[in-house]
Structure 1
Amino acid sequence: MFFKNTFAFAALSLLSVASLAYADHTFVFKNNCGGSVKPVIANTNCGYSPRCSTPGSGGVPNPAISYTGPQPNTLGAGQSQTLHINRQWNGRIFNQNGNCGASGESCTVTEYNLDTGSQFTPQAYDISNIQGFTQSIRIAVSGCDTVTCTNVNCGCTNAYPPGDLSGCGNDSPVRGCSAGDKTWTVTFCP
């Protein structure tokens, strides 16, 4: 009986570890605009973040892992879609209005640095208009702060303003969130 219970416990422990390794975040894309939006998920592992090395090297405990799943559908007015994005993802989400670069250059972007391994900021996110304001947008996260920017002058408490290279002086637009898988809702035209 002891061996049977020990085997069952070991099997359950392995399943728990395996489920953690494949855990992910839920992203809900909502379109409250009067017309269609085309959400894009862009990886920025090494372009805009230092998290592109192997674990432990250069002080990086959890290097970023690229998202390789499907892109969101074009969403008509009032539509939404849910996708799952892997843990340790580092990237941007934006509305491809035809004028944005592949990583959201020249557009309003939402930025994410997930599952960093940092005890101080396990998950970080923000709205950036540094390269231009093109879209009102909101990020709502289960159990964390919501940030919303509805116009070019939404202020540093909610987003980086156009042309800002100082980080608003103190990175005040960046929000931190506790560790663990979250549900992130990105709303276009909140």
Structure 2
Amino acid sequence: ESAQKGAHFIELCAQRGIPLVFLQNITGFMVGRKYENGGIAKDGAKMVTAVATAQVPKLTMLIGGSFGAGNYGMCRRAYSPRFLWMWPNSRISVMGGEQAASVLATVRRDGIEARGGSWSADDEAAFKAPIREQYEHQGHPYYATARLWDDGVVDPAQSRRILGLSLSAALNAPIQPTKFGVFRM
């Protein structure tokens, strides 16, 4: 339901020429049968479409975690925010390191057991440790900034000033009209 509300809000802002500011602290869209039956895939797609097609200035600041498809729905780099900033405590990746390690370990364990083998808890822990380490390393804001995936790491105390300056700069360019496709809402 929140993804659909987000899509409506983005559409209204785009129609009125109001810039969008995304403050990301998102673990991703909800998963599971209950949410899938509730339409999260459809509603999430609406929000991603709204973000992708809105022509108003979009500013994104990662203030916490940014994981999964929610990362895209909240205007990550692929969706052309005019500016994208990160706090030093933020993290970004497809999923959290522990979740990734658990998924990969489950696949590995199932494969070993299907071949008639066994996998000890120590083997599993040794398998998971480098995966968690890689996700922690590559999800760090300095890793992202060093690769120019964002516009820099900012001191949280300076966020208001930086967002204000960014909005001022973004509003110096004309805002093109937004042409949304058909939303099946």
TM-score when scaled to structure 2? 0.27
Which structure carries more strand by proportion? 1
User: Is the radius of gyration larger for structure 1 or structure 2?
Assistant: 2
